[in-house]
Structure 1
């Protein structure tokens, strides 16, 4: 009898600690390469929303060795922050197979726009930024 109680207890506690995704939206959690493979992003879930930050760059520094910074940010106070570690999209919620209602920031343009995501396959993620009816999509590959 004691063996059965111990086995049941181990199975119960082990099952609850197993790293199962807590919902279907967690399929995007992890690391992804940009289309040109020059950057890598880490997507995470924060409560009920998803965000990504830049975690690796092929060329994180200028030729003089100084880190590349957010030089095009419309807020002058933020122009000195390094690109590496920057949050590039946030606020996405998972609904009906897509991640929607988020924002993405492009350091190249210094602009924040609406964004959405959808998995094209288990290893391909389509990120779409939009301003009104104008849309632009990029495909990231799972790292």
Structure 2
């Protein structure tokens, strides 16, 4: 019968611990990407903007919606397409969850909220009114995670990029809210994804450059 030297056994144990430590961040859940809401009427694009998570409507089943229930009369005519839904959500210490606010367009109110990825294809949304009367739903992934660019933050409000002008650089970097190209060789969008057959018609693009996110006024 073979016996492993004690030092060899310790080496194996420490190697396993090291690998677990190194691999765990890579396996951490990623809330970014496009998510179909529970009732299927809209898709929310989640991206990291200025270090926190934001989510905005990137597709709607019935085009032309307006934020008519907003208590601010000045915002009641704004389009729901491109409207922020997840507001400035910060990473929760020690957990794959982010806390902030969620905007409910059905009543025009903001609620305390937590988002938590479940596996790679689901995102749990929990919202509460004054700390109680909590409810939530589960969204389904329909687009790949959005990589964080080397540039880090989106262009400042008022800059050519924020206004939609083409950057002067020949090879501009994506900002954190940019969507991975749908036509990249070998890449397939999830079956049944809203806009999968018409990805080039994406009018929202990088949500970090949307005025309500680049210059939050909530």
Normalised by the length of structure 2, the TM-score is 0.50
Q: CA RMSD in A?
A: 1.9
Report if the CA contact (8 A) 2:29-2:119 is conserved. Answer: no
Give the paired residue count: 116
Report the counterpart of residue 19 of structure 1 in structure 2. Answer: none
Question: Per-residue displacement from partner, 1:24-55 (whole Å, max 9, x unpaired)?
Answer: 77711111101122211110001321000001
Report the counterpart of residue 97 of structure 2 in structure 1. Answer: 99
Q: Runs ≥4 in structure 1, deviation > 6 angstroms?
A: 22-26
Distance 2:49 2:29 in 1: 11
Report if the CA contact (8 A) 2:102-2:113 is conserved. Answer: yes
Report if the CA contact (8 A) 1:26-1:45 is conserved. Answer: no
Distance 1:116 1:24 in 2: 20
> Which of the numbers 109, 128, 138 marks the counterpart of 2:107?
109
Distance 1:74 1:98 in 2: 33
The answer to whether residue 81 in structure 2 is matched with residue 84 in structure 1 is yes
Normalised by the length of structure 1, the TM-score is 0.74
Aligned ranges 1:1-143 → 2 under 5 Å: 27-60=30-63, 67-95=64-92, 96-131=94-129, 132-143=131-142
Report the counterpart of residue 10 of structure 1 in structure 2. Answer: none
| Larger Rg computed on CA atoms | 2
Distance change >3 Å, CA 105–CA 23, structure 1 → 2: farther
Distance 2:85 2:27 in 1: 22
Distance 2:62 2:135 in 1: 24
